[in-house]
Amino acid sequence: IYKNFCVSISDVSSGECKPSWGEHQLPGYPFFIAITWIIDESLNSVRIFQCLIFSISICYISLSIKSYTKSKNLYLFIALILSISPLSIAWPRHIFTETLAISLTLWVFAEIIFSLKENKLRIWQIALPMIFSIFVRIDLITLCIPIAVAGFVIHTPLIAIRRGFFIA
């Protein structure tokens, strides 16, 4: 995307754009790499930026838990566990979709927790990370399941279906 303004399976230096239809993913991760390469055209910039996003998502879900439980100790415990988990140590150093996928999953779950606290499914706040998630990895469509469960826990079935429809 950065070099030739397309998602391609062609060699970057050729300038050609033989399209890649993303057998198992949409162009979210290549677009992410292209954005980071605007700052610095290196794989290290991708690693640093995805670590930054992952760190922010850990803080955000920890804050959602603190907001829901009113427990500073639980907030710090969750932040610590997520920070030192094998997922946070292993994936960010690789140029794979996993770091962004985990970050976006944490974002979605943080929004679910905020929804539980507010006792209403937050439509736009859930829809936005879902859009990003699906563009990074199509299999993250399965995040609709916990969203639906939260919707039915919070609302009556008719309202849950309506709010779920708006999120979709």
Residues 71-105: pLDDT tens digits?
989 889 988 998 888 877 777 778 888 899 999 99
- Rg of the chain (C-alpha set): 18
Task: Check if the beta carbon of residue 2 is closer than 8 Å to that of residue 39.
Answer: no
In whole angstroms, give the CA distance from residue 135 to residue 7: 13
pLDDT at 132: 94
* Residues with pLDDT less than 50, the chain: none
Q: What is the pTM of this model?
A: 0.85
Tokens of 36: 């980071």
pLDDT at 24: 55
Q: How many C-beta atoms surround the C-beta of residue 122 within 10 A?
A: 18
DSSP codes, 56-93:
HHHHHHHHHHHHHH--HHHHHHHHHHHHHSHHHHHGGG
Question: Among 91, 88, 18, 22, which residue's Cα sits nearest to residue 55?
Answer: 88
Question: Among 112, 150, 152, which residue's Cα sits nearest to residue 130?
Answer: 112
pLDDT at 94: 81
pLDDT at 121: 95
